[in-house]
Amino acid sequence: EVQLVESGGGLVQTGGSLRLSCAASGSTLDNYAIGWFRQAPGKEREGVACIGTSDGKIYYADSVKGRFTIFSDNTNNTVYLQMNSLKPEDTAEYYCAADALFRVGSSWRLPGLYDFWGQGTQVTVSS
C-alpha cells in the first residue's frame, strides 16, 4: 500500500511561485498515475495535473496550463508540482493521489479512480 505525504504549501502573493512535493512510501511508484487535485471551500475537488510514472504521459487542467509543471523524481519516489504565476483563484487545499496507471489512464480527473491520497497542503494566494 502506498502512503503519500504532501508538503510545500504556504502563503504567497499573486504572481509568486510554490513547489509542492508528494513523497511516497510503502511502494515504489512504478506503473502509477500520480495526480494533483485541489479543493477550495464550497467547491468540488478538481484535477490539476497528472503524470504516468512509467509511460511519462502528462495532463494538465486548462486553468493551469503554462503555469504549473508536474514532474517526478524516481530516485526519491517523489512527484512535484511547480506552480508559477499564481493567482488568487489557485487558493485551495492541494492533494496528491495515486493509483495503478492501468486504472486511471486518460480519466485522470476523476478522484474516485484513486485509492491512495495524501493529507493535503494548503496554498493561499493573496491579491
pLDDT at residue 103 in the model: 86
CA–CA distance, 77 with 6 (Å, rounded to integer)? 12
pLDDT for the residue numbered 74: 83
CA proximity to 121, closest of 76, 85, 84, 90 = 90
Tens of pLDDT along the chain (127 residues) come to 899 999 999 999 999 999 999 999 988 888 899 999 999 999 999 999 999 988 889 999 999 999 999 999 988 999 999 999 999 999 999 999 999 988 888 899 999 999 999 999 999 999 9
Question: How confident is the model at residue 120, as a pLDDT?
Answer: 97
For the chain, what percentages of helix, strand and coil (3-state, to nearest 5) are there? 10, 50, 40
Measured distance CA(28)–CA(115) in Å, rounded: 15
pLDDT reported for residue 102? 86
What's the pLDDT score for residue 121?
A: 98
